[in-house]
Amino acid sequence: MTESLKGKVAAITGAASGIGLATTEAIIAAGGTVVLVDRDEAALKEVCGRLGASAIPLVLDLLNPDDCKSLLDGILSKTDHLDIFYANAGTYIGGDLVDTDLDSIDRMLNLNVNAVIKNVRSVVPHMIERGTGDIVVTGSIAGHFPVPWEPVYSSSKWAIRDFVQIMRRQLIKHGIRVSTVSPGPVSSALLKDWPEENLRKAKENGSLIEPSEVSDAVMFMLTRPRNVTIRDIIVLPTNFDM
């Protein structure tokens, strides 16, 4: 048994590309409407023009405190309610900690952790008032394993995995489901900072998955009957050794 997404309204951060875009396309194909939240106005214009009226652009830079604070107001200015919030936006830093720029650490933690917590804080009162809702967060296999070549990124995903499990317990009584999807390496712009040799080897040996394979997992979560919560799904390339 599955639950229909027809008529549901979702908001997805980082929606102009990668996993966010793939999930947007899947929800619209299932009959839903998506508010696409992204800082890339040109990309949003192109994507929403292609996807039609069910794709609604909302240009926000989640690293800007005022933009981040305005998330729910922005969503509700374009639609009358919110059923699904998918906190997907994130960034990546790899390499040894001693080689990492301090400002880059701030940007990563602000987007991967702080913005997620603040965004969830923003949408929760609306969902509590309605007595229902789904919150999904993009985690990572790096949040389940201490990855030695990703000290900042891995730490950010460990933090957010803990946050998701705490919020799941806090919000059960309000009819709100909270879940995380934890992919391995995904073929997307997030890997632009990977060493070129590592990326080449991953592509050659099948150690990458496509964004649509992650969005399939998100759709599985969202379409379960309301008495079922899929707490966490780990989605790995079969040839990825971790």
In the predicted model, is pLDDT for residue 33 greater than 90?
yes
**pLDDT tier at 182, thresholds 50, 70, 90:** very high
Name which residue leads in pLDDT, 123 or 207: 123
Is residue 203, in this structure, part of any structural domain at all? yes
Q: What is the pLDDT of residues 6-20, one digit of tens each?
A: 999 999 999 999 999
**What's the average model confidence in pLDDT over 32-55?**
97
What CATH number does the domain containing 114 carry? 3.40.50.720
Is residue 144, in this structure, part of any structural domain at all? yes
Is residue 19, in this structure, part of any structural domain at all? yes
How many structural domains is the chain composed of?
Answer: 1
In the predicted model, is pLDDT for residue 51 greater than 70?
yes
**pLDDT in the model for residue 2:** 80
The share of the chain scoring above pLDDT 70, in percent, equals 96
**Average model confidence (pLDDT) for the chain?**
93
Q: What distance in Å separates the CA atoms of residue 52 and residue 45, rounded to the nearest whole number?
A: 11
**pLDDT tier at 194, thresholds 50, 70, 90:** low
Is residue 163, in this structure, part of any structural domain at all? yes
Q: What is the pLDDT of residues 133-161, one digit of tens each?
A: 999 999 999 999 999 999 999 999 999 99
Is residue 153, in this structure, part of any structural domain at all? yes
What is the CA angle 209-211-217, rounded to 5?
A: 90
Q: What is the pTM of this model?
A: 0.93
**What's the average model confidence in pLDDT over 41-50?**
97
Please provide the DSSP assignment of 3-47 as one string: ---TT-EEEEETTTSHHHHHHHHHHHHTT-EEEEEES-HHHHHHH
The share of the chain scoring above pLDDT 90, in percent, equals 83
Q: What distance in Å separates the CA atoms of residue 56 and residue 38, rounded to the nearest whole number?
A: 11
Tell me which residue range forms the domain holding 139.
Answer: 9-235
Residue type, 46: E
Tell me which range, 183-187, 195-199, 200-204, is most confidently predicted by mean pLDDT: 183-187
Active-site annotation, residues: 153
Measured between alpha carbons, how far is residue 29 from residues 84, 115, 211 in Å? 15, 28, 16
